[in-house]
């Protein structure tokens, strides 16, 4: 993001910070908030700034593709895991991947890193800060800020139990008699956990698990602590800040405790501080909630730079399993173009499962049931959440994407690889920045042994690989791993060379029947157009090129197959799960 010089930049920063604090801490006096604003500016080392970051500026382009991975998914004897990850990126993904999201690499006690016990350390089994800096010097680096909760084994929570020291007042304490009936939960465990402390029994708030204790941001010391964390990560090369589970941040008894105004205002405050410190840095909010609520985290291009496109994975999976694009198209037509300065973060697989809350109000219950039954038949699991009426509802599907797409609702078939690649061809072509999960880049299978070992359904898609064994598999074109990896790298390489695939390039949904899911992209310079045509069914599809209204003075060719289309009135047969990127520029 560019910036402009201003003699009043420091005044502007102070003014913005104070405005946000007045909304978050409305009951605090002006003098206290002025002091807090000064402290935050000092923590970020922004006492003297000479420029004001420009808004509505896109600091990304079509070349940006982020690989999502755990820092210890790859192992080789005698080397730190992050060193091996760096080796993989250079030896296997050179020129293909330019960003990497290293999932929580901190010491932790549960949830594969998302129950952080120390925010200022790198887990010894993964590496050290030098490894993080090395990655950041060569790739755009995304790190999690696990901002809603931390481990019950953390030093902060141990001080809470003792009643003294840093962190002793960082955690949200509630009364079991409070009216908590409206609180939205993503889990079925009890919300409150009774803890014996030096000051008696306290009931701490645990949105996710009893090992993950929620912070109390009513305490301004908690806000200051996380601003320190952000500054520390910036100093170590982090460029993209993923705010984990941020939608649950602010609590008010008697409310849903989800997406409250103070939560949004804290995100806006962090954006101001981060942009003044590093104009090219970004915030991405992780809010696995219904689509309309998720979109609210864009604000007016003054909140998150990116939001996860959470509805895409379940809707695309449903389309490919049923051969029907109706719900996918309906949703896509309802999605507003991201303003300049914001972008969608597209993904179809991640370290977590395929969330089902984002399709509430989009996919009917009977279609969700059809989807979950098929996933269980393919070896997957279903995680549940508790409703306020005591009923449990499917929350997410736990399965690898490759196994999820090994058939249709009619059962397994021989078109799994084609279906899997079609899913990624769609995702890579959509408006937004693509995130490709490491296990999907390889075509990983369900890891049932790891589920049995950890007791967590999510472990099914978190396989650990021996580096040399993996490289051997990837080099074998007879294995599905080799086929998938080679094809995925080719898809990404083609994608990153097209101006029409800029994350903010124009997108329109096409109406070509149920079998063909199509959309049109046009570059910001309006020179390149790409018609993205995808047969989402297991039957051949027929397309009349005249239905696309192609400009006859342009030469049209498929970027994926190389086929040239001279007769714009011809009939084209599209094979099952074939994708065509029909472009007027090669």
Residues annotated as catalytic are 244
Strands across the sheet containing 173-174: 173-174, 200-205, 192-197
Reduced to 3 states (helix: H, G, I; strand: E, B; else coil), residue 434 is strand
Residue labelled with tokens 């294995």:
479
The DSSP symbol for 185 reads -
Q: List the one residue out of 436, 424, 398 whose CA is nearest residue 320.
A: 424
- Kindly state the tokens that stand for 494: 């083609």
| DSSP β-ladder status, 579-583 and 556-558 | antiparallel
Indicate the angle between helix axes 365-377 and 312-322, nearest 10 degrees: 80
- List CB contacts of 467: < 8 A, sequence separation 6 or more: 74, 75, 76, 84, 87, 88
Q: What share of residues in the chain are helix, strand, coil (percent, to 5)? A: 35, 20, 45
Report the distance separating Cα 557 and Cα 204, nearest Å.
61
CB 100 within 8 A of CB 135: yes
Residue labelled with tokens 């901190």:
106
CB 486 within 8 A of CB 93: no
Q: What is the 3-state secondary structure (H, E, C) of 137-162?
A: HHCEEEEEEECCEEECCCHHHHHHHH
Report the distance separating Cα 114 and Cα 17, nearest Å.
29
CB 83 within 8 A of CB 132: no
Q: List the one residue out of 158, 314, 149, 135 whose CA is nearest residue 238.
A: 135
Residue labelled with tokens 């305490």:
219
- Kindly state the tokens that stand for 574: 């599209």
> Which sign does the torsion angle of CA 370, 371, 376, 378 carry?
positive
Length of the chain (residues): 586
Q: What is the 3-state secondary structure (H, E, C) of 398-431?
A: ECCHHHHCCEECCEECCCHHHHHHHHHHHHHHCC
Q: List the one residue out of 399, 410, 488, 476 whose CA is nearest residue 445.
A: 399
Report the distance separating Cα 276 and Cα 9, nearest Å.
9
- Kindly state the tokens that stand for 397: 């599907």
Beta bridge partners of 174: 203
Indicate the angle between helix axes 261-277 and 9-24, nearest 10 degrees: 160
Reduced to 3 states (helix: H, G, I; strand: E, B; else coil), residue 383 is strand
> Which sign does the torsion angle of CA 346, 349, 351, 352 carry?
positive
């Amino acid at each position: 993001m560019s910036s402009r010089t201003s003699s009043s930049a420091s005044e502007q920063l102070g003014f913005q910070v104070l405005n946000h604090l007045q909304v978050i801490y409305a009951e605090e006096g002006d003098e206290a908030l002025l002091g807090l604003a000064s402290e935050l500016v000092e923590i970020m080392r922004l006492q003297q700034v000479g420029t004001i970051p420009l808004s509505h500026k896109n600091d990304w382009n079509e070349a940006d593709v982020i690989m999502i991975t755990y820092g210890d998914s790859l192992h080789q004897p005698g080397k730190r895991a992050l060193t091996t990850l760096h080796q993989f990126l250079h030896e296997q993904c050179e020129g293909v991947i330019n960003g990497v999201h290293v999932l929580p690499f901190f010491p932790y006690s549960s949830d594969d890193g998302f129950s952080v016990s120390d925010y200022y350390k790198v887990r010894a089994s993964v590496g050290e800060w030098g490894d993080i800096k090395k990655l950041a010097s060569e790739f755009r680096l995304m790190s999690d800020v696990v901002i809603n909760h931390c481990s019950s084994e953390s030093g902060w929570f141990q001080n809470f139990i003792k009643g003294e020291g840093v962190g002793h007042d960082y955690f949200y304490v509630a009364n079991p008699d409070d009216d908590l009936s409206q609180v939205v939960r993503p889990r079925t465990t009890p919300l409150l956990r009774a803890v014996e402390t030096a000051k008696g029994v306290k009931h701490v708030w645990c949105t996710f698990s009893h090992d993950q204790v929620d912070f109390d941001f009513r305490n301004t010391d908690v806000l200051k602590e996380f601003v320190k964390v952000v500054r520390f990560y910036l100093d170590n090369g982090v460029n993209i800040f993923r705010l984990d589970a941020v939608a649950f941040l602010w609590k008010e008894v008697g409310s849903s405790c989800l997406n409250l105004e103070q939560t949004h205002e804290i995100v806006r405050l962090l954006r101001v501080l981060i942009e003044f410190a590093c104009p090219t840095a970004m915030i991405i909010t992780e809010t696995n909630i219904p689509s309309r609520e998720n979109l609210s985290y864009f604000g007016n291009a003054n909140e998150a730079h990116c939001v996860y496109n959470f509805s895409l994975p379940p809707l695309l999976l449903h389309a490919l399993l049923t051969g029907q694009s109706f719900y996918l198209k309906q949703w896509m037509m309802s999605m507003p173009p991201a303003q300049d300065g914001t972008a969608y973060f597209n993904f179809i697989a991640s370290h977590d499962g395929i969330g089902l809350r984002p399709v509430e109000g989009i996919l009917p219950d009977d279609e969700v049931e059809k989807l979950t039954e098929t996933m269980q038949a393919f070896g997957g699991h279903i995680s549940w959440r508790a409703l306020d009426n005591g009923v449990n509802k499917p929350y997410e599907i736990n399965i690898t994407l490759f196994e999820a797409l090994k058939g249709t609702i009619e059962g397994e078939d021989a078109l799994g690889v084609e279906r899997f690649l079609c899913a990624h061809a769609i995702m890579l072509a959509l408006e937004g920045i693509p995130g490709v999960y490491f296990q999907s880049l390889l075509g990983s299978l369900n890891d049932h042994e790891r589920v049995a070992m950890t007791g967590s359904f999510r472990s099914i898609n978190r396989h650990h690989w021996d580096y040399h064994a993996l490289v051997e598999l990837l080099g074998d074109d007879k294995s599905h791993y080799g086929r998938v990896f080679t094809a995925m790298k080719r898809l990404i390489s083609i994608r990153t060379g097209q101006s029409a695939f800029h994350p903010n390039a124009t997108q329109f949904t096409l109406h070509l029947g149920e079998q063909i899911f199509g959309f049109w992209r046009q570059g910001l310079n309006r020179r390149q157009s790409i018609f993205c045509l995808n047969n989402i069914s297991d039957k051949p599809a027929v397309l009349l090129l005249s239905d696309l209204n192609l400009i006859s003075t342009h030469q049209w060719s498929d970027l994926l197959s190389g086929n040239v289309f001279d007769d714009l009135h011809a009939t084209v047969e599209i094979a099952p799960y074939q994708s065509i990127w029909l472009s007027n520029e090669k």
